[in-house]
Amino acid sequence: MESGSTVIVEGSVDGRISNRGGRLVVNNKRPPPCVTLDGPPEAEACGVLKINLTAIASNWGRLSKSTEAECASVVRGNAYGCGIEPIARALCKSGCKVFFVTNLPEAKRVRAIDPSVTIYVLHGLYSGTAPAFAEANAQPVINSMAEMAEWGAFVASHQWRCGCALNVNTSESGIGLSLEEATAFAPRVHAPNHGITLLISHLDTDKTANHERQISVFRDLRRVYSGMRASLANSSGIFLGRNAHFDLVRAGSALYGVNPTPSLPNPMLPVIELKARIVQVRNFESIAGSIGIAKRRRRLAFISMGYADGYPCASANKLQVLVGGYRCPVAGNPSMDLLSIDVSDLPDPGAARYGEMVTLIGAEIGVDEIAAASRSSGREVLTHLGNRFHRVYYAI
């Protein structure tokens, strides 16, 4: 291939292609095809949980392209219950350089994946843990003046230059420095080696009417902290527009397929698929009518899934599952290990039989549908999923 010749690529490439003197170079940021297994063997597990790492990477790319700010990934809560290691690895390969975790154990897990990324620990500095932060090269998110005093003493005595983030509470709930504390502390950031690398606050996800007020308050606060990088927007905040973005946005639940724009179609790709097997099918006679004359035969399938595995409770007939490609209503709230499904109206009765797999969450029944039926959130549905599944992490 000569320099300047025409190159035709069959298919598609997520990245940039350049022809350098007859050699085709493909800069593809998508994770390579792979399969990683975790948990008990499939034949022994109560269900199979598949996690699409390519969808995770694509969702991060979609969010990253929606803003001129840098896009960080939030992998707190064991990556919303999906598993930190494989997801952090996929996000690092996709180009993510900043991660937010809950605590030091999670920070250490991300650090083991990539020694170069920046890691912020949202729970801040537990007393006596400053040396562990230094060892993990992680930055605490300071939430109180007491934490700042302990961190400052450690930095001064050890000449540590890792830095920290300063969290200011601009909502009506949550943790962080008050606006008064943050304003009083601001003059210190003009001193050399103050060590604060990021000013952050959290949008009040339950009260969207407060967003404009929070953005305005945070913008005023950032002026006091002139020259410092700032971060306010979470997944939903990314879609509020540039005024909410500042220097760094924090992509969280949307990475895992949760809709960041609940009033609009979901712009994110589905990430997880959860299936469980039928362990028994039984026929029941149910009586209909107030005088108890009419009888109707009901056919129930019992699924190897219960509240011990994180499957939520909801009113009858609100939750549905897929059996042989058809939607069937959940017949009642789960027990610890079983879930009953009404398969009476299946067009193909043979689709519900012992050993067959039933889809509880997937492309057709998303996390947000389960959340709405159980009056919870997509974040809760994800993080409640238990450890008894056979997990399959794959990229395509």
Tell me: the pLDDT tens digits for 349-392?
889 999 999 999 999 999 999 999 998 999 999 999 988 999 99
- pTM for the whole structure: 0.86
Query: What is the structure's pLDDT at 157?
Result: 85
Phi, psi for residue 51 in degrees, rounded to 5: -125, 120
Query: What is the structure's pLDDT at 12?
Result: 41
pLDDT at position 235 over 80: yes
Domain ranges in the chain are 1-30, 66-256, 272-395
Query: What is the structure's pLDDT at 10?
Result: 41
Which residues have a Cβ under 8 Å from the Cβ of 307 and sit 6 or more positions away? Answer: 313, 333, 334, 335, 336
Tell me: the pLDDT tens digits for 14-41?
445 555 555 555 555 554 566 888 999 9
Cβ proximity of 382 and 81 under 8 Å: yes
- Cα 178 to its chain centre, rounded Å, is 28
Lowest mean pLDDT among 45-49, 135-139, 211-215: 211-215
**Residue of 86, 102, 2, 87 lying closest to 257 (CA atoms):** 87
Cβ proximity of 232 and 216 under 8 Å: no
Count CB neighbours of 139 within 10 A. 22
CATH class of 272-395: mainly beta
- 66-256 CATH choice from 3.50.20.10, 3.20.20.10, 3.40.1280.10, 3.30.420.280: 3.20.20.10
Tell me: the pLDDT tens digits for 120-176?
999 999 999 999 999 999 999 999 999 999 998 898 888 777 889 999 999 877 789
**Average pLDDT of the chain to the nearest whole number:** 88
d(CA 5, CA 319): 57
Query: What is the structure's pLDDT at 245?
Result: 95
